[in-house]
A = this chain, B = another copy of it.
């Protein structure tokens, strides 16, 4: 696997830990970053400092890979700015979008505890900053502060829940239902508003829902025809009949 540009940058950084600009960035980024993460936000200042001491800050340009499938998984990555998409390539080479990370989310934990390689790709969707913690350093912290482990466990279990739900959805529901449920899911993020703003373009949405852009397009048209939704613009959809949508 090729090293991504981001990877190279990180190494450069580590070669010169006293680089002024980076050090400045580092301090700033870390504070925002660490305090954002739900896993750490119950900690005392002292413990925070300890964690900050073992983290590095790295930034990536749009399209750069944070890591690729096949790369050694030895760090936890916490997003402090920007968006990262996590995707997989299936046996047959099709891309499937797994999730999109926003500031405060983290990734790389999958293989963190079982010394292995990544099976997925992480790509910056825009100018993005991440804080990284080495596998080994994190383990020490977890052993020292067991309460963090519980937080991580909680996060894992909810992700596992989510993932199994997703798998069941793919296995048992047809595309139209998956789209309808996706819209509903996007909606309740946005409170009571009946207007959904799609968090990604239709191509990514297709990949996320395990279908094709053509089918997304057609099914949305069908849902509109049935009077359940109204497509306002490319990424805006108004829900006209929630019950109808759920009964698809």
Contact = CB atoms under 8 A, between A and B. Distances in A.
Interface of A: 88, 90-92, 94, 96, 98, 109-114, 119-120, 139, 142-144, 146-147, 149-150, 152-154, 156-161, 163-173, 177, 181, 209-210
B153 A163 contact: no
A160 to B, nearest CB: 5
Nearest to A160: B160
> Taking chain A's interface residues, is the majority helix, strand, or loop, or is none over half, making it mixed?
helix
Given A167-B166, A171-B210, A173-B91, A112 B157 contact: yes
Q: How many copies does the complex hold?
A: 2
A110 B157 contact: yes
Contacts of A147: 143
A217 to B, nearest CB: 18
Contact of A153 (B94, B149, B172, B173): B149
Given A91-B177, A143-B147, A171-B209, 8 more contacts: A91-B173, A98-B167, A110-B161, A113-B154, A144-B146, A149-B149, A156-B156, A167-B170
